[in-house]
Structure 1
């Protein structure tokens, strides 16, 4: 199964609580943090919700 590398490139200042919770559920805490998550429907849904805050590449 493929994996995705997700990097937080924008901060949480002024964001809605649900967007912050989504980023934290992916394991992103600070700008510059990178995590590797499985490429599945749940992860893609989370990425879509915070797409303006993250940068996604294939791992």
Structure 2
């Protein structure tokens, strides 16, 4: 299964509760954090919600 590398590029300060919750559900807590997630529909939906805050790379 393919994986995605997701890096939080911008701070969560001043963001809405929903965007903060999505970032934390992905395992991102502070700028610069990088996580690997499976490339599936659930992850794609989460990334779409906070696409302006993250940088995504296929592994």
Same fold (TM over 0.5): yes
Long gaps (5+) in structure 2? none
- Output the TM-score relative to the length of structure 2: 0.98
User: Which consecutive unaligned segments of at least 5 residues does structure 1 have?
Assistant: none
Match of 1:30 in 2: 30
Question: Once the 2 structures are TM-superposed, how far is the Cα of residue 14 of structure 1 from its aligned partner?
Answer: 1.0
Give the number of aligned pairs: 59
Extract structure 1 runs of 4+ deviating beyond 6 A: none
